Structure 1
Amino acid sequence: MSAAALSRRGFISASLLAGGGLLFDLNVPLARAADGTPVILTAFIRILPDNRVVIGAKNAEIGQGAKTMLPMMIAEELSVDWSQVTIEQTHADAKVFGGQSAGGSRTTPREWLPTRQAGAAARAMLVAAAAQGWGVAPETLKTAGGTVSDPKSGKSATYASLATAAAKLPAPDPATLKLTDPADFRIIGQSVVGVDTPAIVAGKPLFGIDFKLPNMLYAVLETCPAFGGTIKSVNLDEVKALPGVAHVLPIKGDGTPESGFDGVAILSKSWWSANQARDALKIDWDVSAVSGFSTESYASEAAAKRKGKADAEIVRTGDVDAAFASAARTVTADYDYPFLAHGTLEPQNCTALFKDGAVEIWAPTQNPESGRGLVAKALNLPPEKIRINFTRIGGGFGRRLMNDYMVQAASIAAQVPGVPVKLLWNRQQDIQRDFYRPAGWHGFRAALDKGGKLTAFHDHFVTFGKDGKPVRSAEMPASELPAGLIDNVLLEQSFLSTNMPTGWLRAPGSNALAFVTQAFLDEVAQAAGKDLPTLMLELLRDPKELPRGPNQPPFVTARAQGVIEKALAMGGWATRKALPRGTGKGFAFYYSHMGYFAEVLEVAIVDGMPKVKTVWVAGDVGSQIINPINALHQAQGSVIEGLGQALAGQQITQVAGAVEQANYDTHPYLRIADAPRIVVEFVKTDYPPTGLGEPALPPVIPALVNAIHAATGKRIRTLPVTAEMLV
């Protein structure tokens, strides 16, 4: 779409609702996509005859608060009271609503201006209608509480009463829209309880796992324990004869984890009977091509790779070899971390109805358009024959960016046309059929001069790849700090083969790279006779704006300095040496998903294991915290999740191509009793707001292991943390 196509008529349209009231349909130009194409946001606003306002929430709600936050911004600019507002979830359709994915903390930066423009455009048309009726200039009128008023004459009119006149007006020019001054915000910046929270507390059905349709069949799907295994034989007829079983269907995958591996689906009128019938399946799997993969083999291969020549350079600046040759001191260390599962509380599920050559889907998906494409390919359907309805998501953390469960449900439903089918995984499947955070091994070197200045940095990163490229979420950016802050940097990568599907886990990439880089730099700082925050502040001293990826704002060193100094003050860093024996404080800083976060953590060793007492979190996500209570919860949840990855014993291990862990007992999560006190403060800066779903997580893991070193003298270079590491 050319910029010229973004006409005033295409920007907003208004029409009368049946029975009275007004519908605004708004197409708002966003920033350009990576290919230069303008991206369009569509929002709808309905003014009802009683002056209540219905606002469409177009993005998936995964707990990040988008279903509440986006309507807050529209309501602010529309100049209505929040008590007037009802929020409705839209369906998924990029052609109608624009981007609707939930991931990467991108919703806020992507929609901060255009969503507000949507509300401002509707308000402008209502004001213009009142001005025309009263014969006054629009700029002389005021709005509040869904009412337009004329201070001079004392006249006022509700938005609903202006519906007929507003529907006849031409669209405003987007360039003429005047957004609300932040000093006058009445909704933005106030804590608003999530729109779904009362229903969740009351146990009302909102989630995909709750969804039901009349005459629905429940489906379970059995696939090979070793990823990529295929079916040689199966006792279909025997299972079909079991009580309650309606269908037993072979499912042919395309050999990719996204579209699905070979499997057998069992359908019944209850999930319980279908799941019980699963135990009677006798499948002879061909695992000859995938049984050679194991955690043990990965570790030995990685150790050998790390000592050899790397497969590829990510970035090389300066003269790294000369810098190490002339160094007064070098520091070396090896770090590693395991595969991790997402472990969403709500297992993967999807309901599908195939009828008359089309399929309707109800799914807790973070990335609906990707799912639409996969289903269209699997069923050989035009994309427009697929309707996707959002359900509330019971945890995603990146898992539901992948839509394998959607393809599976649609493929099963296509074999029983006219019958709704609900596919529901059990917990074991959810752990053993994930798209895992990839494991990684790092061989670090750092060079220091006589004054303790960091002069060179080298990381040989061993992880998983294919055809010379890293697998999903195993990338390292060329901008990984301290790149850009010192002259001599070499980041390189080597690859192992795997059959494990990999994917994005909350703060993808960053959740692992922060641990290894900030923990190693703590070692470097100690060797230089200083602490980590001092080292980081020295590296960040010069004002710089370092370029990041496409459509990403630059990294601003002053913003990093600001959160570091704030965290140190919050956490009482200067008095850390007065702590009792066996207690220590650690620090870490990380830039992730456009957010700057520094954290100080206090840990005590209790019964041989670390007990985190307090975490102080300082974050900079720009000029405005849209919904403070949700922002607090996002930061606190990120810290708890990160601590769980390090302390709860989380790791995914593999034998003969299959995952060993099967439930929360073997892939555990932090429990309430182990959650620390978490203090969060935001440093507001004069930059556009950015997202909060992820950037508070990465620093907490290195802050933890650095605190453990302060308390015990032991360096933690592998995760998860165990009692044996502290002996």
Structure 2
Amino acid sequence: MTAEMTGASRREILKTATASGLVLSFAVVGKGQAQTAGGAAQPINAYVRVAPDGIVTIVNKNPEIGQGIKTMLPMLIAEELDVSWDQVRIEQADNDPKAYGRQFAGGSMATPLHWEELRRVGAVARAMLVQAAATAWNCPAGECSTTPGVVVHASTGRKATYASLATQCANVSVPDPKTLPLKDPKDYKIIGRAIAQYDTPKIVTGQPLFGIDVRRPGMLYATYEKAPVFAAKVAGADLAAAQAVKGVRKAFVVAGDSNALQPAAGQIGAGLLPGVAVVADTWWAAKKGRDKLNVKWEDHPTSKQSSEGFAATARELAAGKPQRTPRNDGDVDAALKSAAKTVEASYSYPFLAHAPMEPQNCTAEWKDGKLEIWAPTQNPEPGRQLCAKTLGIKPEDITIHMTRCGGGFGRRLANDYMVEAAWIAREAGAPVKLVWTREDDMRHDIYRPAGFHFLRGGVDAQGNLVAFHDHFVSFGEGANFAPSAGMGPTEFPARFVPNCRIDVSVMPLGVPTGPLRAPGSNALAFVMQSFIDELAHAANADPLAFQIKLLGDKPVVGEAPAAYAAGRMVGVLKAVGEMSGWANRTKLPKGEGLGVACYYSHLGYFAEVAHVAVSPAGEVKVKKVWVAADVGRQIINPHGALNQVQGSVLDGLSEALHQQITIVGGAAQQSNFHDYPLMRINEACPVEVKFLKTDFPPTGLGEPALPPAIPALTNAIFAATGKRVRSLPITPEMLKA
């Protein structure tokens, strides 16, 4: 790769390695840019700056939502750059697709997308520093090596720090990243080390990091009232009463778009919905003004929808002919008739809210036809595009600063709060911070969709699963599912049962839905793994052994990208059985039980065992959960990895034990943590984790540990009580003796 230079004191080069999707930008900055305590820091590339005092600043490209990405991604760069971690400082990038490619947090994709790419970023920077030293010493670069932060020429004993070489990198041609060797894992000094999250000291000392902490000169505060029935239009509001409140500057109706719940291509969630904005000197004044609005809303068709109505419609659809059949292997009906034992069961799960600790918020500043935004977003570029389209401006006239997110779980993949703040700031003529109330956050979420499964299964006399049928009733229109409401034709145990049929019927939905941590999988695992446990008991089989037998002896079933590595799942099942003392489960006291479940999602293979105790009053106490995980050959940051797995398990248990959103009259009924409780610390159980290192590329950990936690819990409850949980959340009334 060659470098085209222009100018004497300021040079900019943009290089793209198209084969890897790697984008590197190189520059020597002018006065006043990129300052550190040691003076002006010289950029080696878009990700790396080296200061005269030896401090190396590494940029984190993706949003940090608590998953540890701000620490983990720079670790990859630092490893191949060969610097000491205590010399590293980390900065959060702004949204800049030209420099960093796609920037988002979701799908547990940070590791698989960046494992090689960002190591090569570090390798490129190291190679340029080595070349700069070799040029100065008039020797071949191949004769030079590095120790942390230093280039060494062994034969002459010459040494040069990265700090002394950084400015010379502007004159070095950028090597092709693909040609550079990467470290042997045995030589890792940073990858594989347990490193605390970079921002933890700032978080525990209350320093401003989050979107809700942003302050701008002359900033006003805003609230935004939307209809309880999703997407209903404003029929009238008492703007004068709101504006009479002390501190309120302005109140106005936003016509919005009643079709904004139908996301455009590339978008998730809603656009600018109709509502009423109140802008004030303080947020409390804006809230008091909003309370005086007395908004009247137009009628909307969604007002006829309810959770009870959805359940009734699902039963009607299940009793009739399915609308489509995505999978039909063998002859299910004949296999059920000839089976030694059959089981029929109906399963359901509710809508769920994301409930992040930090409510949705955004600060926006409109000036001279351009927009500047500070937002806790998981998906900044679609937010930029949404704001540009809605405000009728060019995307390049919008700057987005990514703040740390106080939780995301998929909610902040949608950018409705961003476009609301942008619109209000333009109307207000001043910087505006929009902050949703907790009630706004709960009642205007992009919900995990509810769903209904009507199942039949059969086992033969040898205990083999020979027939499986699911009539899945969900939401959508025609052949399309509502967002995150679908199920694919390869959902396990499909492909492992000779006679397997998956039928689908859908009903219309006016409630906004979208991804929640482990989208789809967080619900489907509960259904499939609970029903497989039912079938194991029908076969008088050990549930763990039944799963291993079902997986069979083929290492991999199916073709990429839908391949299922059955051998990897067998490995984690055997491991979790050993960890939990599964073989001794019958020796537990009365009212206690172990349950097992496994699930593949987000490229990770997980098996989990839960130990529960259930009181005669139906109260559930989770005593411990064991997790065996296979996410490939390398755990980048064991500290962060453990946090993610343990957090995912507790998140899943919280969903199962407490959480549901019910729809009545087209509106969400729950409004805050009093009626949408999350797991408290006194309910949290120990979670023991074991990572099986296998010869596969490393994959993500933000989501795949959650899905099997729920059926492991419900299967353990059955083992303890003999009562089968087929709907969520779990209540004491279900389990009373």
Instruction: Choose which of 203, 206, 210 in structure 2 pairs with 1:207.
Output: 210
Match of 2:620 among 610, 620, 629: 610
1:263 to 275, 278, 287: 275
The separation in 2 between residues aligned to 1:191 and 1:340, in whole angstroms, is: 33
Q: Distance in 1 between matches of 2:304 and 2:348?
A: 22
Aligned with 1:105 (options 108, 114, 120): 108
Using the TM superposition, name which of 629-638 and 136-145 deviates more.
136-145
Residue 655 (structure 1) aligns with? 664
**Which runs of at least 4 in structure 1 moved beyond 3 Å after TM superposition?**
3-22, 546-549
Inter-partner Cα distance in structure 2 for 1:706 and 1:319: 29
% identical aligned pairs: 51
Q: CA deviation at 1:437?
A: 0.6
Alignment of 1:341-380 (within 5 A): 341-380=353-392
Question: What's the CA shift for 1:411?
Answer: 1.0
Aligned to 2:234: 231
- Partner in structure 1 of residue 678 of structure 2: 669
Shift of the alpha carbon at 1:21? 5.1
1:424 equivalent in alignment to 2:435: yes
2:485 is aligned to: 474
Structure 2 counterpart of 1:722, one-letter code: T
CA distance in 2, matches of 1:231, 1:17: 51
Contact (CA 8 Å) 1:228, 1:287: kept in 2 or not?
Answer: no
- Give the 3-state SS of the residue equivalent to 1:666 in structure 2: coil
1:366 partner amino acid: Q
**Unaligned residue ranges in structure 1 (runs of 5+):** 26-42
Superposition RMSD on alpha carbons, in Å?
1.8
- What is the rounded CA distance, in whole Å, between the counterparts of 2:16 and 2:257 in structure 1? 42
d(CA) in 1 for partners of 2:534 and 2:211? Answer: 46
Does the C-alpha gap of structure 1 residues 9 and 102 become closer, same or farther in structure 2, counting only changes over 3 Å?
Answer: closer
Specify which of 480, 491, 512 is matched with residue 501 of structure 1. 512
Which sits farther off after the overlay, 575-584 or 137-146? 137-146
Distance in 2 of aligned mates of 1:194 and 1:548: 38
Aligned-pair CA distance for 1:11: 6.3
> Once the 2 structures are TM-superposed, how far is the Cα of residue 535 of structure 1 from its aligned partner?
1.5
Deviation by residue 1:671-701 (Cα, 9 ceiling, x = unmatched):
0000001101100111111000000000011
Matches of 1:165 and 1:360 in 2, distance apart?
35
Distance 1:659 1:9 in 2: 42
Choose from 558, 565, 581 the match for 1:572: 581
The C-alpha deviation readout for 1:437-464, integer Å capped at 9, x for no partner, is 1111101111222212111211111111
**Superposed, which structure 2 residues align to 1:267-666 within 5 Å?**
267-417=279-429, 419-547=430-558, 552=561, 554-606=563-615, 607-647=617-657, 649-666=658-675
Instruction: Find the aligned partners of 1:8 and 1:601 in 2 and give their Cα distance.
Output: 41
CA contact (8 A) 2:234 2:255 kept: no
- 1:401-426, Cα deviation, whole Å (9 max, x unpaired): 01100111111112123x10111011
Instruction: Tell whether the 8 Å contact from 2:23 to 2:100 is kept in structure 1 after alignment.
Output: no
Q: Which moved more, 1:440-449 or 1:552-561?
A: 552-561
Find the aligned partners of 2:655 and 2:114 in 1 and give their Cα distance: 31
Residues 108, 7 of structure 1: CA spacing in aligned structure 2 closer, same or farther, 3 A cutoff?
closer
**1:114 aligns to 2:117 (yes or no):** yes
Q: Answer yes or no: is the 8 Å Cα contact 2:373–2:401 preserved in 1.
A: yes
The alignment partner of 1:407 has SS state of: helix
2: CA distance between counterparts of 1:15 and 1:348?
A: 36
Aligned position for 1:87: 90
**Alpha-carbon distance in structure 1 between the residues aligned to 2:568 and 2:533:** 21
Q: What is the CA distance between 1:616 and its match in structure 2?
A: 0.4
Q: TM-score, normalised by structure 2?
A: 0.93
| Counterpart AA for 2:114 | E
Secondary structure at the counterpart of residue 115 of structure 2: helix
Q: Shift of residue 9 of structure 1?
A: 14
* Partners of 2:241 and 2:289 within 8 A in 1: no
Tell me how far apart the structure 1 counterparts of residues 135 and 682 of structure 2 sit (CA, whole Å).
63
In structure 1, give the amino acid aligned to 2:465: L
Instruction: Give the structure 2 partner of residue 24 of structure 1.
Output: 44
1:445-499 CA-partner distances (Å, limit 9, x unpaired): 1122221211121111111112431100101022110112222211121112221
1:193: how far off? 1.1
Q: Which amino acid aligns with 2:565?
A: V
CA separation of 1:474 and 1:315: change in aligned 2, threshold 3 A: same
Work out the CA distance in 2 between the residues paired with 1:554 and 1:116: 27
Task: Give the alignment's TM-score, normalised by structure 1.
Answer: 0.94
Instruction: State the partner residue of 2:171.
Output: 168
- CA deviation map 1:28-52 (0-9, x unaligned): xxxxxxxxxxxxxxx4211112221
What is the alpha-carbon distance in structure 2 between the residues aligned to residue 725 and residue 12 of structure 1? 57
For 2:608 and 2:689, how far apart are their aligned partners in 1? 9
Q: Structure 1 pair 9/598, CA: closer, same or farther in 2 (3 Å)?
A: closer
8 Å CA contact 2:478, 2:506 repeated in 1: no
Q: Distance in 2 between matches of 1:173 and 1:222?
A: 53
Query: Any idea what SS the aligned residue of 2:63 has?
Result: coil
Equivalent position amino acid for 1:346 in 2: E
Shift of the 262–597 alpha-carbon distance from structure 1 to 2, 3 Å rule, reads: same
2:121–2:177: 8 Å Cα contact kept in structure 1?
A: no
AA partner of residue 465 (structure 1): G
